Amino acid sequence: MSSELKSDSKIILASSSTIRQKILEDSGIKFDTVSPEVDEDDLKKSLSKKNIKEFCLALAKAKALEVSNREKKAYVIGSDQICVYKNEIFSKPLTKENCFKTLSKLSGNSHYQNCGISICKEGKEIWSHYAQATLTMKSLSDKEIKDYIDEDEPFMACGAYRFESLGKNLFVSTKGEETTIQGLTLNPIIDFLNSEKALII
């Protein structure tokens, strides 16, 4: 489904994530990108006692609000993704070693990708959404894990795999929207923006 932006509406994605940008681009929505000036590490520490849903939504809201305070007339979309296995949260791995450790734990098991989304306007949150996807990974040998890391370089990917790329081949099954797994659940965003008459569908 392709969605067009009304001429008097402005949409901003509060993210520097290339995959989130591609998700919106592929939907046909025209938008600008502004990176939120949020210290995620400090924010995560302050939110550490919240449950996963509250954690995701609070991080998404913080990103959207920060940009909305600078771009008050726009619909600002903030998003956050958290990968969880057995109550352990996996951050971006950044290194080959961390990728290997994460994928070794996920190998042969089911884990969750959690996605929180917040839309703000005029410095206030006007909508939020939470979605969860369940993924079951194949049992991978050490060599298969190392070969995957070398080929796909998932150093900035939540869960140490790029589902939009070769990472999709690591799984036996998935349950949930593909865009949730990728970090920006699309259909509810389109539904909300349409209800605001911000889009022509």
Which member of 26, 32, 41, 80 is catalytic? 80
Instruction: Name which of 112, 125, 10, 121 is nearest 60 in CA terms.
Output: 125
* Three-class secondary structure of residue 178 per DSSP: helix
Alpha-carbon span 32 to 55, nearest angstrom = 26
| Residue-wise DSSP of 86-100 | TTEEE----SHHHHH
- Whether 80 sits among the annotated catalytic residues: the reply is yes
**Residue from 104, 110, 127 nearest 171 by CA:** 110
Query: Assign residue 60 a region: left if phi > 0, alpha if psi is -120 to 50, beta otherwise?
Result: alpha
Active site residues: 80
